[in-house]
Chains A and B, each alone.
Chain A
Amino acid sequence: MAARTENRGAITASTNATTITSGAANTKGSYTDIGSTTTFDYEAISVFFGNASTTANFVFDIAINVGGNRFIIAEDLHSENLKDGHWASYDPLPIHVPSGSQLSARCAGSVGSSTLDLIIIGHSIGLFGAPGYSRCRALYTPSSSRGINCDPGGTAHTKTRTQITASTPDRVVGLMVTIGGGGDAARSATRWLFDIEAGGAGSEQVIIPNMFAGCGPTCDVPPQTVFGPFPCDIPTATRLACNIQCSITTAGDRVPDICLHGFVP
């Protein structure tokens, strides 16, 4: 099905996006409006971000303000900028945004008062003509403005499991995975295979088997960081984990960070 689109946040005069500024280190700054209010209902949004002012990790919230009430529609999305020059996108996120909403964003950075530039494109329908979900919840608690460090351990090619959340706050029907450098920005060539799992300790079930990521010694952090969203149906109060193996055993280099997000129907 066809879709209308509109852009919020682009600054064409300087080939740039709208700048959001973090607070003190790992503390959210104030909200910044992203363009003018939406002119039609969105059922999906694409989020483009980059041009960070410093090498840092970021998490950012996207919110809408309708009639003075602010509501976070996507929380703690991650931007891995520990190396210069990292642009990425979430495209598209299946989230409903009512017509007439003021989109806004705020961020936390691992370096205080750092900035990140951001654009949102709204789509009048999602893929397959589907309506958007109500919101995107973070299924992890950010640490130093990044995800949960997952250490594959000192044995190459052998999986080690790390809990990402003990209990999901909502039922989710779409799951998104973001990988980052785990705070390490100087590593040798590295490959990972990792499962995302649901279930109590010792009885985990694989939801996504052997995702493949890696990087080399120039980029030093995984280049493409966003995976999904994937179809799923995960009940409220579910434990989620990442079971990961690595091609190298060097401490630090072998450790990425993982964020999980869920879409609430």
Chain B
Amino acid sequence: MFNWVPHTAARSENRGAVTGSTSGTTITSGGAGDTKGSYTDIGATTSFDYEWLLLFIGNGNTAADYTVDIAINVGGNRFILAEDLRYCTQRASGEQWDIYALPLHVPSGSQLSVRCQGSGGASRTCEVVIIGYSSGPFGAPGYSRCRAFYTPSTSRGINCDPGAVAHTKTRTQITASTPDRAVALMAYVGPNTDTSSAATRWLFNIEVGGAGAEQVLLPNMYSGRGAPYDIPVSMVFGPYPCDIPASSRLSCNIQCSSTTDGDRDVDVALWGFVP
């Protein structure tokens, strides 16, 4: 049990904001599509322990999918705190901003850095800002790291097709085996590269368990999209409380109001917070 103190105030500090141009810090993907670029430092080293951080990602320079790693560098050793976070500005360049609230511990004196990859080509850029807090909600300490519970495909999540029957769920495995125990679960639901669709609604469960024996963790989450933006506008969900053992199978069981192939599909990414 954590030794947390309820109702505590928190210090905060910003890393990465560029006030002279109302921007974040630019990070650049690798020299080929779907390949991570080099790490870019995000501001100066942290001046106190963070137990919670906010990550803002926006202003992507190309209509593309991205995945992003947040790392810290302490004494020359780089450690990935949060891996393969999704950012999707598939609709058009500079359209999407995604914001993550991450209950993670970052030691004082750490150099935060971020790297990314983008779909469809080299040198995609996006901008990031990080705000660190000295305590989490309820005064809680942060977890050790945020693990990806999916393997990115073309810099996006796992394609989940609700199938050709409207209002009927179809299940897709997101991961066969989680690499760690997780005590909080986060999801991202993207458009699976479809950027021209009729109005669409989804209800989806996140489930745990072997094939045929799945248990619902999160029942009937709700998302949708419509013209003119054509992709879901708010794609980050959670983190939610949970306790998922290592080596668990996770899946998404999803239904859709539309039966149009492509329009009905989403891509789903999951992450777990490791205590």
Contact = CB atoms under 8 A, between A and B. Distances in A.
Interface string B1-28: 1101011111011100101111110000
Interface residues of A, number: 77
Given A87-B225, A216-B94, A12 B219 contact: no
B127 A3 contact: no
**Secondary structure call for the A interface:** strand
12 contacts: A85-B229, A87-B234, A89-B221, A127-B138, A128-B137, A210-B19, A218-B229, A219-B91, A223-B98, A231-B136, A247-B22, A265-B6
Interface string B173-191: 0000000000110000000
Contact of A213 (B7, B56, B138, B243): B56
A191 to B, nearest CB: 5
A41 interface: no
B47 to A, nearest CB: 12
A103 B69 CA distance: 39
Contacts of A92: 238, 240-241
Nearest to B142: A128
A83 B137 contact: no
Interface residues of B, number: 83
Contacts of B241: 1-3, 44, 92, 123, 125-129
Interface string A10-24: 101111110000000
A215 B229 CA distance: 11
Interface string A212-240: 11111111001111111111110000000
A46 interface: yes
B222 A87 contact: yes
Contacts of A119: 220-222
A94 interface: yes
A12 B131 contact: no
A215 B89 CA distance: 10
Interface of A: 1-3, 5-7, 10, 12-17, 44, 46, 48-51, 83-89, 91-92, 94, 117, 119, 121, 123, 125-130, 156-157, 173-174, 189, 191-193, 206-219, 222-233, 245-247, 265
A157 B20 contact: yes
A209 B12 contact: yes
Contact of B229 (A83, A208, A225): A83
